[in-house]
Amino acid sequence: MTKLVVDNDSKSGAEPKRRYKPGKIRDHNFQIILQAAEQEFALHGYRGASTQKIADRAGIPKANIHYYFSSKNKLYLAVLDNIVHLWNDYLDEVRVEDDPAVVLDAFIRKKVELAYTHPLSSKLFAMEIIQGAPHLKDYIRTEMRAWVRTKASVIEQWIDEGRMKKVDPYYLIFLIWSSTQHYADFETQILTVMNRAEYEREMIDDVADFLSRMILSGCGLTPPKRKKRSAPGSQ
Amino acid sequence: MTKLVVDNDSKSGAEPKRRYKPGKIRDHNFQIILQAAEQEFALHGYRGASTQKIADRAGIPKANIHYYFSSKNKLYLAVLDNIVHLWNDYLDEVRVEDDPAVVLDAFIRKKVELAYTHPLSSKLFAMEIIQGAPHLKDYIRTEMRAWVRTKASVIEQWIDEGRMKKVDPYYLIFLIWSSTQHYADFETQILTVMNRAEYEREMIDDVADFLSRMILSGCGLTPPKRKKRSAPGSQ
DNA sequence: GTCTATAGCCTGATAGAC
DNA sequence: GTCTATCAGGCTATAGAC
């Protein structure tokens, strides 16, 4: 996948494994800064976030941010790069031979899971898009468009073979994206309306069940059989 | 409805009609500033937006912003107040006697329509929520929670009477919110992925049809009959 | 590699002439 | 009511001691 950050230093901070040189401290600081930056950018947007606050959160002097990442903009790109990779490394090959119900169900569940485990990534990505995707337009026009086109063509073949109801595949993908990401991005609204302090495993599973049933039903499909939920760590 | 802005001046900018005193210029400037502010806040978030840029966009000196709205924060609250009213003045009374299919269909279509006609409002609201709703938490905890509770209880009665499938009413409302607002908030992503320059009436109608069919089907309902679309201005 | 000090700019807000 | 001039403070980025 294309890197958003062109980095002649051979690494852009996304890799958990170091390429060459031990540099344990360097890698550690890289990660610490990226993590702090993700939080600040997600909380205040690109312009609203300050390198000072990021440095404070990371527990290092502000100047070190500029030592590791030459500018605020490069740091932001590195964070986005991390996010885009995290999101896309999942569920990549879908084949026409697969069962549409199994594929869609897994897709929805994986997205709900990501919304639960990585809400900050989702929020930051959402802010970037809402603001007109100034740093991600190229990525959307090339890789994301191709990704959607591929999945859409598989869905169309399923429809042609009469294996699911005729629905617009693009709108279907957007529906899955929106309904799942919503639980990350609008977390505050949802929890406040439901009068809860935070998400719990059980609620997340309920949401996944609900969305899978709803959307699959709209496609004329029935959710695949699943193991009953039991003790955590099963499955 | 509670005003977010406490304004002893008797108006908070939300009213198109002036309460007393002609003040044509004053009202005009109020509206100009609010409109410019909505755009800047939606594009850059609260912190990222600057009063200078808002003034430039409105075509007035920066000091006048502080003359009309005493602070950046008050201006932001006035904009949010406008939005919250716009969103809630629609579809308020739903009764148990109504047909669930008709109500849900109308709800979905109205939301898609708002996403099309007022994308900036939706985007600004989304940014506020994503950032933790620092200015709207009270509103969500009181009015919005009550609104959702009322609708949810109606849906539950419909279910009890066997007039629709058993689904969680809260998740259903969240699904309608998320799937419709997505077309406003993620406009850039959707248009870029679909390789289009802007939305067209036809596509918006298609989206409304798609979402209505999908979601109603998940509730075991069939969309109500609708007039065929014809020349604009019909209906 | 780390960190202090600071340059240069932009911010929100205000004072005061018109 | 309008607008220029200006303030104090926060911002990104950098220079240079350690």
Residue A9: per-residue pLDDT: 41
Distance of CA B82 to the CA centre of its chain: 10
* pLDDT tens sequence across B8-23: 343 444 444 444 455 7
Mean pLDDT of chain B: 89
* pLDDT tens sequence across A112-162: 999 999 999 999 999 999 999 999 999 999 999 999 999 999 999 999 999
Higher confidence at residue B83 or residue A229?
B83
Mean pLDDT of chain A: 89
Residue B88: per-residue pLDDT: 75
Higher confidence at residue B71 or residue B2?
B71
- pLDDT band at residue A27 using 50, 70 and 90 as cut-offs: confident
Interface membership of A126 toward B (CB under 8 Å):
yes
Residue A25's nearest nucleotide, by CA–C1', is: C1
Instruction: Please indicate whether, in this complex, the C-beta atoms of A45 and B42 are within 8 angstroms of each other.
Output: no
Percent of chain A with pLDDT over 90: 79
- Strand D contact residues in chain B (45-104), C-beta within 7 Å: 60-64, 67
Residue B28: per-residue pLDDT: 87
* pLDDT tens sequence across B51-77: 999 999 999 999 999 999 999 999 999
CA angle A5, A8, A14 (to 5 degrees): 45
Interface membership of A195 toward B (CB under 8 Å):
yes
Q: Which two tokens stand for residue B75?
A: 């201006």
Q: Which residues contact A116 (CB under 8 A, 6 or more apart)?
A: A183, A184, A199, A204
- Strand D contact residues in chain B (29-48), C-beta within 7 Å: 29
B188 phi and psi, to 5 degrees? -60, -45
Residue B24: per-residue pLDDT: 77
Residue B86: per-residue pLDDT: 87
Please compute the mean of the pLDDT values over residues B204-218 and round it to a whole number.
Answer: 98
CA distance A151 to chain B (A): 13
* pLDDT tens sequence across A48-81: 999 999 999 999 999 999 999 999 999 999 999 9
CA of A31 to C1' of D7 (A): 40
Chain A partners of B193 at a C-beta cutoff of 8 Å?
A: 140, 144-145, 148, 170
Q: What does the H/E/C string look like for chain A?
A: CCCCCCCCCCCCCCCCCCCCCCCHHHHHHHHHHHHHHHHHHHHHHHHHCCHHHHHHHHCCCHHHHHHHCCCHHHHHHHHHHHHHHHHHCCCCCCCCCCCHHHHHHHHHHHHHHHHHHCHHHHHHHHHHHHCCCCCCHHHHHHHHHHHHHHHHHHHHHHHHCCCCCCCCHHHHHHHHHHHHHHHHHCHHHHHHHCCCCCCCHHHHHHHHHHHHHHHHHHCCCCCCCCCCCCCCCCC
Is the confidence at residue B228, as pLDDT, over 90?
Answer: no
Interface membership of A151 toward B (CB under 8 Å):
no
- pLDDT band at residue A225 using 50, 70 and 90 as cut-offs: confident
Three-class SS state of B57: helix
Higher confidence at residue A183 or residue B24?
A183
Interface membership of A52 toward B (CB under 8 Å):
no
Is the confidence at residue B205, as pLDDT, over 90?
Answer: yes
Among candidates A152, A145, A126, which has minimal Cα distance to B182? Answer: A126
Q: How many A/B residue pairs have CB atoms within 8 Å?
A: 161
Percent of chain B with pLDDT over 90: 79
* pLDDT tens sequence across B147-164: 999 999 999 999 999 999
Angle between helices A169-185 and B201-218 (to 10 degrees): 70
Q: How far apart are CA A229 and CA A235, in angstroms?
A: 8
Residue A21's nearest nucleotide, by CA–C1', is: C1
Contacts 24+ apart (CB under 8 A), B57-60: B58/B29, B58/B32, B58/B33, B59/B32, B60/B29, B60/B32, B60/B33
Amino acid found at A220: G
Q: How far apart are CA A136 and CA A142, in angstroms?
A: 10
The pTM (predicted TM-score) of the whole model is: 0.90
Q: Which residues numbered 10-39 in B keep a CB inside 8 Å of some CB on A?
A: none
Percent of chain B with pLDDT over 70: 87
Residue B12: per-residue pLDDT: 41
Listing DSSP states for B75-102 in one string gives HHHHHHHHHHHHHHSSS----TTS-HHH
Top mean pLDDT of A7-21, B6-20, B98-112 is at B98-112
Please compute the mean of the pLDDT values over residues B193-219 and round it to a whole number.
Answer: 98
